[in-house]
Amino acid sequence: MILEPLVAVDGALPGHLLTEVTGLYASNRAFFALSGDFPDPDDIRVEQVAKALADELAHPDAEVLLARSRGRLVGVVLTLARHPDPTDPDPWIGLLMVDADLHRTGVGRELAALVEERFRAAGRDAVRLAVLENNPKALRFWTALGYLVIGHREDRARHRPCAVLRKPL
């Protein structure tokens, strides 16, 4: 598996990549039904995904990584090198999503390990993430990878209750 940053070309995200990412997002209907990130989880549109990604990339410390295996898009990761809270020293994984057809095949575990290695190589000694309280499947995934719940709070964007997890690298 390889990770490649999603980069705007002439100020726009490439259409063919947006189509691929939209397909991956649409395959994860159950997550988006929980998160409420899109108005209709059964009808996630390219323009909605383009706006969501552009909003993420507007943050100077954000990165969108595309995971490919044998040329196929298998996952997307949104990371944040520095949290907006200046007292938080750790980078964050904002989203790690795997094509739903590949759930429970080890792709998510491999993808998480690659992201952790990127942070480790950048000299970071831990990573954090937040899991929606209404998503016990995600909480089980992350705790199985060694992440520990260190607190509970609302997310910054939508004020949804979350568990905050951290893993030393």
What's the rounded Cα separation, in Å, for the pair 76 and 21? 8
Q: Which domains does the chain have, with CATH numbers?
A: 2-168 (3.40.630.30)
> Residue 8: pLDDT band by 50, 70, 90 thresholds?
confident
Reduced to 3 states, what is the DSSP secondary structure of residue 50? Answer: helix
Residues 6+ positions from 100 with CB-CB distance below 8 Å: 27, 28, 29, 30
pLDDT computed for residue 52 by the predictor: 94
Residue 12 to residues 7, 8, 75, 87, 124, Cα–Cα distance (Å): 8, 5, 21, 33, 30
Per residue in 45-68, pLDDT tens?
Answer: 999 999 999 999 988 899 999 999
- Per-residue pLDDT at 150 exceeds 80: yes
pLDDT computed for residue 119 by the predictor: 97
Per-residue tokens: 130: 């937040």
pLDDT computed for residue 3 by the predictor: 96
Per residue in 98-147, pLDDT tens?
Answer: 999 999 999 999 999 999 999 999 999 999 999 999 999 999 999 999 99
Handedness of CA 58, 169, 148, 110 (dihedral sign): positive
Return the residue matching tokens 């980078």: 91
What are the b/e assignments for 95-132, b being 16+ CB within 10 Å? bbbbbeebeeeebbebbbebbbebbeeeeeeebbbbbb
pLDDT computed for residue 83 by the predictor: 85
pLDDT computed for residue 111 by the predictor: 98
pLDDT computed for residue 49 by the predictor: 96
- DSSP string covering 116-144: HHHHHHTT--EEEEEEETT-HHHHHHHHH
